[in-house]
Amino acid sequence: MTEIVIEGLGFPEDPRWHQDALWFSDMDARTVFRMDSDGALSRVVSVDGTPSGLGWLPEGALLVVSMSDQKLLRFDSSSLTEVADLSSLARFRCNDMVVDDEGRAYVGTFGFDFEGLSPFAPGQIILVHPDGSFRLAADGLSFPNGMAITPDKKTLIVSETLGQCLSAFDIAADGTLGNRRVWAVLPSLTPDGISLDAEGAIWVASPVSGAVFRVHEGGTISERVTVATQAYACRLGGPDHRTLYVTTSDPLPSLFALRCLPVPPQRASGASSGRIESIRVKVPGAGFP
């Protein structure tokens, strides 16, 4: 069973373990939060365009994806500035992100308005360099979401939520992506946020399953952890990287509609259902983020 770490959040997403603390975006609150190892919660920065993916540049500045205005922002402890305006490439909202140790950011895009149940259009991954220059790294993805980079920095793995799979790309020396392939087919899941462990398995949050799953290359599932409502993202962290943090909230009706599934009961109107849950696991986290 998971432990409830924090309650009363809006819609927490994109957890990251950095400098002995858990960082995450609360999309409803339009705020990035930081939770210290003693459990104290503090506001880091407000993002009017709705924060999503998080990462850090080598010198320590925080990168934040601003979803609705399709921008990558930089926060230097006191000021929030624009790194890149991705609206010339992004078809719809920007979403999750992974940043490597050279400061290269891989930003995913929805591709279409899934909340408005618009017709499907493929999503993309945009590569943003530390100097703010950017290019299209991958296209034709079925709602790209959580991403991870292996410890050797040679492979990027991305969840395709509506494709019900994890896909992998080779990473070239200049950061470009190639040799796209299926890493795992997950026909019963809708993979969202992911976290890589030291044995090469990936923890996958599936927001129509009420659980997170430990998945191996090829699609074998070795562990399942049930959560309080629906799991949207997960991150291995803690001092020994063996604590699996899971961001949870009420179900998104649009996601269930796209899967032609009945929507589970929501909490009472006005209630803040967002939580951070955690559970101890055997294998520590690895790679990026």
Task: Report pTM.
Answer: 0.94
pLDDT category of residue 97 using cuts at 50, 70 and 90: very high
DSSP, res 262? P
pLDDT category of residue 267 using cuts at 50, 70 and 90: low
- Rounded Cα gap, residues 89 and 70, in angstroms: 9
Alpha-helix residue ranges (DSSP H) falling in the chain: 253-258
State the fold for domain 3-280. Neuraminidase (2.120.10)
Residues listed for the chain: 289
pLDDT digits (tens, 9 = 90+) for 159-208: 999 999 999 999 999 999 999 999 999 999 999 999 999 999 999 999 99
DSSP codes, 200-224: S-EEEEETTTTEEEEE-TTS-EEEE
| Residue 248 to residues 12, 25, 59, 164, 172, Cα–Cα distance (Å) | 7, 12, 31, 19, 35
How many CB atoms sit inside 10 A of residue 130's CB? 17
Please say if the pLDDT value at position 74 is more than 70. Answer: yes
Q: Give which of 88, 99, 60, 87 is closest to 76, Cα–Cα.
A: 60
| Residue 197 to residues 13, 29, 125, 234, 284, Cα–Cα distance (Å) | 19, 30, 23, 12, 6
pLDDT digits (tens, 9 = 90+) for 51-66: 999 999 999 999 999 9
State residue 270's pLDDT score.
Answer: 47
Give the torsion through C-alpha atoms of 154, 181, 105, 39, to 10 deg.
Answer: -90
Q: What angle do CA 8, 228, 192 make, to 5 degrees?
A: 95
